[in-house]
Structure 1
Amino acid sequence: MKLFNTAGPCRPEMHYMLPPLRRIPEAIALIETMGYFVLHAPRQTGKTTALRALAEELTASGRYAALQFSCEAGEVAGDDFEGAQRTILASLRSRAETSLPPELQPPPFSEVAPDGFLLYGALKAWAEACPRPLVLFFDEIDALRGQSLLSVLRQLRAGYAERPHAFPASVVLCGLRDVREYKVASGGDPNRLGTSSPFNVKVASLRLGNFSGEEVAELYRQHTTETGQVFTDEAVAHAFEVTGGQPWLVNALAREIVEVMRVPATEPITAAHVDAAKERLILARQTHLDSLVARLMEPRVRRVIEPMLVGVPGDEGADVTYDDDVSYVRDLGLVLTRPLRIANPIYKEVIVRVLGNKAEDQVMDEPRAFVLPDGRLAWRKLLRAFSRFWREHGQALATRMPYPEAGPQLVLMAFLQRIVNGGGYIDREYGVGRGRIDLLVRYPYRKPDGTRAEQRRAMEIKVWRRGQKNPLKKGLAQLDVYLGELGLSRGTLWIFDARGKLARKPVRKEDVVTRGGRRVRVIWA
């Protein structure tokens, strides 16, 4: 039986997969015109699978000798560019011996070359000896660092004019980021190339995108065809909603449901199964999610993400590097642009849980203490408990958050997560530029007749900072709209007073009715 793959390149005989070449339709035309170009995408989106399939098809056509190989082993060389080149050539040869027929494999590489031109000489010799034009896919190119990366890029540029008879006809650099973001030591900011690119011969930058909703359905149907187990339309739609079509997440959700949760093959897979699998993935923090989490403390990432959590615009216009930082965080896969937002609901969950870990660890309340006899959440009791928690610990915890500007929001979300976790779900919306975060708590329970039901409670978070107007009026108007979209008649508005000595103490509450006739409990903290 085939499997949903979450580790390494997909293999058609083993894994459910979409046609890989369909995901990079522009590549063939660029190769046929001897283009040097970049293919970039976040980790675990199917880059290597697509490149291998393309290399195999090109070689099988009889027109090219095409090879995909990894540069990742060269990372340990650091600035030792000679060592990095030898490692790359060893990786290239090893891959060629298993992927190409003998007549297309490279000749022995010379160990003697001018300083910094070992790779150039080897590729030149191979192109001259090979009976077909060479097409090379440098996978994981941005694993190289500093002078090693700079040297490789410059050697490729130096040989560009000699293609196709004395240098590869087409070269594809594949990695996490576009070439303008490759980290090289170029005498300036080590995070940027500067104005003079060492790879200015590229003709295009292609970005491998996420799956569409139709592609998620197509992938899941392969499982249905093989096993007879159906993913309901609601399950497929919900899987696309919570993953945003991110390929690893799409596969990981299905794998969790089918292989780990072991939903019987005779039972259809529902949206409830997707929710359960999502929660399990978040709690497990598998390698894919951990690799993203590790980026959150990078200054460039924080500069983009922190304002989103606060609900305020970023530093557009403050200096020219902000847009570069947004592009960098987008290339990591953490955000989408136009409008700027977190890439998908699972990443939203992971980000706030990681950033709020310290606060969640301080919550001593037992989640079961907030469950009513009929299985619903004791919402008013929960609000009172957080008010008490904020009085005792909130200010101190907020100032110690990894993103202190978002401290109050992170503390509240951490408390909710601790209480709701395991029994319900929290959906988050960041109102970038509107100074708010909207939360929807969903808590499944059973009615007296045994049928499934879901309790829903909506909340908006605002912070009143020094120099700002009282946010009550605007907050009520925004929450009124949010409640209307959800079809709810009541909600909660939290306003954290962060004006220092001007702040109103202690926590206080008031009940108001919005213009839309919805009842809102306003809590000042």
Structure 2
Amino acid sequence: MKKRFNTTGPCISKKHYMVSIENKLKEVETLIDQGDYFVINRPRQYGKTTLLSQITKKCNDKYLIIRTSFEGIGDSIFENEKVFSSGFLKLISDMLNFTYTEKAKEIEKLSYGVENLQMLSNVITEFIRNSDKPVVLLIDEVDKASNNQLFLSFLGMLRNKYILANDDMDYTFHSVILAGVHDIKNLKLKLRPNEEKKYNSPWNIAVNFDVDMTFNPLEIETMLKDYTKEENIKMDTVDISEKIYFYTSGYPFLVSKLSQIMDRNFKNSWDLNNIDKAVKILLNERNTLFDSLIKNLDNNKEFRNFIEKIVLSGEEIVYVPSDRLISLGELYGFIKQKNNRCKIHNRIFEQYIYNHLTAIKARESENISSYNFREKFLTSDNGLDFEKILLNYQRFMKEQYSNKDEKFIEHHGRLLFLAFIKPIINGIGFDFKEVQVSQEKRLDVVVTYNKHKYISELKIWHGEEYHKDGIKQLCDYLNIHSMNKGYLVIYNFNKNKEYKYEKIYVENKEIFIIYV
């Protein structure tokens, strides 16, 4: 069977091109060897199920691995203790029946007449007492049951067995691994039926799971080397791996998805320019991961405002793990910690979110389509007259938004500019923003159109000295891109401001500036 890149379900080595996660598996194996209980809680499509599959194969010789999932079990299993206990044992016996038929029969025999969690505990004790190998329990998709009180009581039972086993007073699983989006350690447990929920976690015995499940460039390269060998294709695997990591920050689904797009569209030309094109294709696709991102963004206005501050305004938000919105951002996969600051997890997420917010603002903006008709700005060399674009944007702001107050423009001005540009380049061009925060709250927008590139910077006027610093920073940024021309959009909130434009020359750079 010919291998392929996989973005649906767990990856299987004989079917799919896979990143080598050997170092991650060693870390997980160490936790198991130590007899630790832990939770693999990561965002959706982060490789949790693939990791469980790989660790099962790696540790199967020295442990009896019971691997099951709560995916698709339905709510009826949580009807009462009897139904849950028998249902849980049935899940175990069904799994064991594929490879350990005798063990499956043993579970079936022991499960007769089980009425409650205490009897379930006794079955587990007896089964593990008779096992010739330590038993490891893996449960995937525990989110399906995480809000169910009966499941929390089940975890409490396992916790009690763990404590007793450490004192040689019981037999229980050598290690238990739960996998899901939420961190089970933080779930609340009712101590009595009529009692308020309290932070008395039934899983406070679990150790922290600190394994980095993102793929670094060296790990990505292992997959690309396998691909080049199988497909007899040449590429600079080092540079391509670095470029994929640049856009994805190693988010497992995005790494596979970009590779999949490259294989489908640029099979014989894996180069850096085509990686950029693949990113553009990806950003125009719909998939379950992107749908989940937008759903979580649109369903919580407070969270959306928090993300907007990072994506649109480039605000430096200090990373505080106990903060509710920050925790939510990590749970959904939106943000990560970098230098003790909150950052959007990767450039693709940042761009997708920014595109979504831009589209909303474009729909809300009055008469914007009469100002940004693409054919007005095309040049004979298949580029854009970017000066003309900025002048039309200035006219749009003067005629449509001059009566808006300062707070509105400061909050929405950047988004309005991005919404103005989007229809002009849509389908041909590509706008990618690079946020660099200074006292001027700068936002650099890099626009590519066919083979042309335009670098514009948006900033708020804070006086002449800051303005000079901003121009110097733009010149430095132009040097990075080996370009000699840049553009400035300055939002001036002074009452006597003038809608003007100018062209200046600094450090052999031409800077075109508009004031709005």
Q: TM-score, normalised by structure 1?
A: 0.81
2:443 matched residue in structure 1? 437
- SS of residue in 1 equivalent to 2:72: helix
2:513 matched residue in structure 1? 522
- Structure 2: how far apart are the matches of 1:81 and 1:411? 55
The CA RMSD measured in Å over matched residues stands at 3.6
Whether contact under 8 Å (1:74, 1:144) holds in the other structure is no
- Structure 1: how far apart are the matches of 2:70 and 2:57? 19
- SS of residue in 2 equivalent to 1:138: strand
- Structure 1: how far apart are the matches of 2:354 and 2:272? 23
- Structure 1: how far apart are the matches of 2:15 and 2:32? 29
Letter in 1 for 2:355: R
Cα distance 1:293–1:24, how it changes in 2: closer, same or farther (>3 A)?
Answer: farther
Q: Does 1:278 align with 2:279?
A: yes
Cα distance 1:111–1:284, how it changes in 2: closer, same or farther (>3 A)?
Answer: farther
Unaligned runs of 5+ residues in structure 2 are 192-196
Q: Does 1:167 align with 2:164?
A: no
Larger CA deviation: 361-370 vs 39-48: 361-370
- Structure 1: how far apart are the matches of 2:302 and 2:28? 31
1:103 matched residue in structure 2? 103
- Structure 2: how far apart are the matches of 1:517 and 1:14? 55
Shift of 1:372: 1.1
Cα distance 1:432–1:143, how it changes in 2: closer, same or farther (>3 A)?
Answer: farther
- SS of residue in 2 equivalent to 1:25: helix
Shift of 1:96: 3.4
2:155 matched residue in structure 1? 153
Structure with the greater alpha carbon radius of gyration: 2
Please give the per-residue CA displacement for 1:60-83, whole angstroms capped at 9, x wherever unaligned: x1x321122222336757996757
1:423 matched residue in structure 2? 428
Alignment of 1:258-407 (within 5 A): 258-259=263-264, 261=265, 263=266, 267-297=268-298, 298=300, 301-302=303-304, 304-308=306-310, 309-314=312-317, 321-322=322-323, 324-339=324-339, 340-361=342-363, 363-364=368-369, 365-393=372-400, 406-407=411-412
Q: Does 1:7 align with 2:8?
A: yes
1:26 matched residue in structure 2? 27
Q: Select the residue among 220, 232, 248 that pairs with 1:243.
A: 248
1:48 matched residue in structure 2? 49
Q: TM-score, normalised by structure 2?
A: 0.82
- Structure 2: how far apart are the matches of 1:120 and 1:168? 11
Whether contact under 8 Å (2:97, 2:104) holds in the other structure is no
Whether contact under 8 Å (2:5, 2:17) holds in the other structure is yes
Whether contact under 8 Å (1:398, 1:408) holds in the other structure is no
Among all aligned residue pairs of Structure 1 and Structure 2, give the percentage whose two residues are the same amino acid: 24
Larger CA deviation: 45-54 vs 159-168: 159-168
Whether contact under 8 Å (1:306, 1:405) holds in the other structure is no
Please give the per-residue CA displacement for 1:134-155, whole angstroms capped at 9, x wherever unaligned: 1011222234343435334323
1:460 matched residue in structure 2? 457
- Structure 2: how far apart are the matches of 1:389 and 1:175? 48
Cα distance 1:519–1:139, how it changes in 2: closer, same or farther (>3 A)?
Answer: same
Whether contact under 8 Å (2:93, 2:107) holds in the other structure is no
Whether contact under 8 Å (1:510, 1:522) holds in the other structure is yes
Cα distance 1:399–1:171, how it changes in 2: closer, same or farther (>3 A)?
Answer: farther
Cα distance 1:144–1:269, how it changes in 2: closer, same or farther (>3 A)?
Answer: same
Shift of 1:9: 0.7
- Structure 1: how far apart are the matches of 2:67 and 2:289? 23
Whether contact under 8 Å (1:179, 1:199) holds in the other structure is yes
- SS of residue in 2 equivalent to 1:284: coil
Letter in 2 for 1:373: S
- Structure 2: how far apart are the matches of 1:398 and 1:257? 46
Q: Select the residue among 230, 254, 257 that pairs with 2:259.
A: 254
- Structure 1: how far apart are the matches of 2:104 and 2:376? 70
Q: Does 1:200 align with 2:201?
A: no
